[in-house]
Amino acid sequence: MDWNDYDAALFDLDGVITPTAEVHMRAWDQMFNDFLRDRGEGQPYTDEDYFEYVDGKPRYDGVRSFLASRGIELPEGDPTDAPEAETVSGLGNRKNADFEEILQDEGVVPYPGSVALVKALQARGTKMAIVSSSRNAAAVLTAARMLDYFPVIVSGKEAGERGLAGKPAPDTFLDAAAQLGVPKERAVVFEDALSGVQAGAAGDFGLVIGVDRGVGADALRTHGADVVVDDLQELA
């Protein structure tokens, strides 16, 4: 691709810059399967459920989506609910506690190909932002020693505080482009989740690049990716 056609790169974090999508998957698996076993539900939560109902969405939206797929109704609760609470918010907070424990125990190393592309874009003066549904984006970037590359971060935390709709709505990406001072037509979206490429397509950005970390190239294209790569090194 010709980077002269674009002025900004808007990156999802988990699964694009860092392999923390795997940590999120493990945390969701642990939380949901513990929950289902306690209820005596026979059908376990699987990776297929993650990609279909959870991947790329704000935390509580992921809880709602999966529970709806199983016909399970819980009170909405409140974001201040304890992780033990049997509410949508409680389950989301339980998952986050599991994620933070895994991250603290194991740390995170960014994808080498992603680091190569980020450094190449920094050298040529391309503006960059992180757009992540995770409320842990800054902590993950700090752990990966990548925080200084991204002057703009629109995470689930900022989106919640400012009332921005989460992916698959394009609002968080549009907000990041506006903060960078770049028209959406001159911005590239990088996403590994179906909800993320949907958001990029809905925002009518200059280019939507799907990063195939397991969801499948065909699915990424069907949901809005213009180009699909296996590793960002291909674009450096």
Active site positions, annotated: 12, 14
In contact, 235 and 1? CB cutoff 8 Å: yes
Report the C-alpha gap between 18 and 16 in whole angstroms.
Answer: 6
In contact, 212 and 219? CB cutoff 8 Å: no
In contact, 159 and 173? CB cutoff 8 Å: no
In contact, 98 and 59? CB cutoff 8 Å: no
Take residue 219 and report the two structure tokens written for it.
Answer: 């699915």
In contact, 88 and 77? CB cutoff 8 Å: yes
Tokens 């691709």 map to which residue? 1
- Give burial (CB, 10 Å; 0-12/13-18/19+) of 39: exposed
Residue 161 CB: number of other CB atoms within 10 A?
Answer: 9
Report helix, strand or coil for 211. strand
Residue 104, C-beta contacts closer than 8 angstroms, at least 6 positions apart: none
Residues β-bridged to residue 152: 129
